[in-house]
Amino acid sequence: MSVIPFGIAFYLAKHPNAVQLGTNHGTLINPPLVTAPDQFSGFDEFSAEHLKELQGHWVLINLLPNEGCNEGCQQGLYKTQQITLMMGKDIARIRRLALIYRPFEQPMSDPWASDLRLLKAIPNESLQLLLKRLPQGEPGVLLVMDPLGNLMMHYSAGYDPYQVRDDLSKLLRISQIG
């Protein structure tokens, strides 16, 4: 009987991927991708003035690799809006960012054009190269950036906003920053 625990420990040491630890729903980016504030430039006047608000806050980043905002993109933006509202008292610790790869003319009829809490930014070339390491997929991909500027969690398109809220709640509860 005393040999069994040692046998299990030996097996797990040789096969570390046999047991999946963690309760997160998103995919952790390991190692985190480090960004700098100068890698973002404002898409419009409002965003250019308020991009400095990203520092020191948790940021939900919607990737918009295509020109314009199609149905998947609009659903992703709506979901992040709902996630921030679900966070309750922690809403002040979170910012939302739409990362637009290619600038385009934004029609005012777009539902996200009138969203006053959504910041829109254009990544520079070095950040675009950094983001190519992540699985892009279809529009609606979500990234979570910590207050230090590290891209640390990834959600594929079609993610469940309740799962993101759960992960974000855990992160905010244990975080000493932001």
Predicted confidence at residue 94, as pLDDT, reads 93
Beta strands in 35-93 (DSSP E): 40-42, 58-64
Q: How far apart are CA 7 and CA 53, in angstroms?
A: 52
Predicted confidence at residue 108, as pLDDT, reads 47
Show pLDDT as tens, one digit a residue, over the chain (178 residues): 889 999 988 998 888 777 766 678 888 888 888 888 888 888 888 888 888 888 899 999 988 877 667 787 888 888 999 999 999 999 999 999 988 877 665 554 455 666 778 898 888 888 877 777 777 666 778 999 999 999 999 998 889 999 999 999 999 998 878 6
Predicted confidence at residue 130, as pLDDT, reads 79
Q: How far apart are CA 36 and CA 91, in angstroms?
A: 23
pTM score of the predicted model: 0.81
Cα-Cα-Cα-Cα dihedral sign, residues 87, 88, 94, 97:
positive
Q: How far apart are CA 136 and CA 64, in angstroms?
A: 10
